Amino acid sequence: MSKGEISRRKILIEAFRLFATMPYDRVSFSVMEKEMEISRGSMVYYFKNKEGLFKEVVRSFVYGASSVRAVPDAYKLSLCSFYTYFIETLKREQEQMAGMGIANINEALMRIENSALTYIPDFKEQTARWYEEELQIWQAVIENAISTGEIRKGIDPVAISYFYEDCYLGRAFHGVFTDAGYNIDRLKQTYDRLYALLR
Segment 122-141, tens digit of pLDDT:
999 999 999 999 999 999 99
pLDDT confidence of residue 178: 95
pLDDT confidence of residue 45: 87
Segment 77-112, tens digit of pLDDT:
999 999 999 999 999 999 988 988 899 999 999 999
Segment 145-174, tens digit of pLDDT:
999 999 999 999 999 999 999 999 999 999
Residue type, 185: D
CA distance 126 to 136: 15
Segment 16-55, tens digit of pLDDT:
989 998 899 998 888 888 888 888 888 888 898 999 999 9
Q: Dmax over Cα atoms in the chain, in whole Å? A: 59
pLDDT confidence of residue 171: 96
Cβ proximity of 143 and 69 under 8 Å: no
pTM of the model: 0.89
